[in-house]
């Protein structure tokens, strides 16, 4: 599976928007872009995924660059509960593909 | 109802013992996984089963043996436990084994080998 690159950490203020970047320059045409997050002492939690078009759901928005070599997870109004490690993952549409986690980005939210 | 449940939540055992961790999902998913998260917080995939068939087997010592009695269950048995096996083990499931399907994770089993 193709690799992703994320900053190590980011800080945000509560109730402000947060933009978490991810680079995936070696993405292939069949790779889906997934975002998961892991709150302290919990298992990873699905956030959002997309292929080519921008996506919105109740948790976040995913903006995908036109060339698909980067994407941005957008939390519209950060809350203290959003403090977590966020993982940007590529997963192939081929059979038996892996969901491979990198280091992720640690998001801190200031009250 | 918990979608993916693991038991036990905590497990403390001595070196050399054999232990099992159980995982069950009630989502009707076809694919299940075991991940290991070490003290540095890296999440590494260990195994994956699709409809009871092993499809992913990373370079995991033979002491680790997964078993899937049916597609709703994936258990992990560990023989001759070593200090380095101490970690949090997560079970997960997806509808299918590829692409766009969302993964659901259990709450983890914290294994401590003393």
State yes or no: pLDDT of A2 exceeds 90: no
Say whether residue A106 is in contact with chain B using an 8 A CB cutoff.
no
Q: Do B29 and B15 form a contact (C-beta atoms < 8 A)? A: no
Instruction: Note the pLDDT of residue A38.
Output: 97
Q: Which helix (H) or strand (E) holds A105?
A: strand A105-110
For A11, half-sphere exposure in the C-beta direction (CA atoms, 13 angstrom radius) is 2
Shortest alpha-carbon distance between residue B52 and chain A (Å): 13
Best A3, A96, A100, A106 member to test B by mutation, with max B CBs in 10 Å, is A96
Provide mean pLDDT across the span A10-15.
96
Instruction: Note the pLDDT of residue A97.
Output: 81
Average confidence score pLDDT of chain A: 94
Instruction: Note the pLDDT of residue A106.
Output: 97
Provide mean pLDDT across the span A26-42.
93
CA distance A54 to B60: 37
In chain B, beta strands by DSSP E: 4-7, 10-13, 19-25, 31-37, 43-50, 53-57, 64-70, 73-78, 87-94, 104-105, 109-113
Percent of chain B exceeding pLDDT 70 equals: 99
Say whether residue A2 is in contact with chain B using an 8 A CB cutoff.
no
Instruction: Note the pLDDT of residue A96.
Output: 77
Verify whether the Cβ–Cβ distance B98 to A97 is below 8 Å. Answer: yes
Instruction: Note the pLDDT of residue B7.
Output: 97
Best B5, B36, B99 member to test A by mutation, with max A CBs in 10 Å, is B99
Instruction: Note the pLDDT of residue B25.
Output: 97
- Which residues, 6+ apart, have CB-to-CB distance to A41 below 8 Å? none
pLDDT digits (tens, 9 = 90+) for B19-65: 999 999 999 999 999 999 998 888 999 999 998 899 888 878 999 99
Provide mean pLDDT across the span B63-92.
96
Verify whether the Cβ–Cβ distance A85 to B106 is below 8 Å. Answer: no
- Residue B59: cis peptide before it, omega within 30 degrees of 0: no
Instruction: Note the pLDDT of residue B96.
Output: 83
Instruction: Give the closest of B41, B45, B55 to A99, CB-based.
Output: B45
Instruction: Note the pLDDT of residue B100.
Output: 78
Percent of chain A exceeding pLDDT 70 equals: 98
Instruction: Note the pLDDT of residue B40.
Output: 84
**B66-70 contacts at long range (C-beta below 8 A, 24 or more positions apart):** B66/B34, B68/B32
Percent of chain A exceeding pLDDT 90 equals: 85
CA distance A69 to A5: 11
| Residue B71 DSSP class | T
Closest to B64 in 3D by CA, of B74, B52, B79, B43: B79
Verify whether the Cβ–Cβ distance A42 to B107 is below 8 Å. Answer: yes
- Rg, Å, chain A Cα set: 13
């Amino acid at each position: 599976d193709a690799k992703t690159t994320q900053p190590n950490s980011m800080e945000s203020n509560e109730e402000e928007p947060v933009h978490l970047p991810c680079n995936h320059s070696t993405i292939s045409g069949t790779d889906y872009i997934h975002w998961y997050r892991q709150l302290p002492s919990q298992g990873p939690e699905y956030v959002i995924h997309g292929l080519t078009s921008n996506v919105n759901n109740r948790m976040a928005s995913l903006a995908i660059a036109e060339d698909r070599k980067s994407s941005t997870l957008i939390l519209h109004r950060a809350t203290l509960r959003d403090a977590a490690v966020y993982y940007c993952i590529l997963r192939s549409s081929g059979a038996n593909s892996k969901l491979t986690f990198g280091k992720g980005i640690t998001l801190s939210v200031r009250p | 109802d918990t979608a993916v449940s693991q038991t036990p939540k905590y497990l403390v055992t001595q070196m050399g013992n054999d232990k099992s961790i159980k995982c069950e999902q009630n989502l009707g998913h076809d694919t299940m996984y075991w991940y290991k998260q070490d003290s540095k917080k890296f999440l590494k995939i260990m195994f994956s089963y699709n409809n009871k068939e092993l499809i992913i087997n990373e370079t995991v010592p033979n002491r680790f043996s997964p078993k899937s009695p049916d597609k709703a269950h994936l258990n992990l048995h560990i023989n001759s436990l070593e200090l380095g096996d101490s970690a949090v083990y997560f079970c997960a499931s997806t509808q299918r084994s590829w692409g766009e399907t969302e993964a659901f994770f259990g709450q983890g089993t914290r294994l401590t080998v003393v």
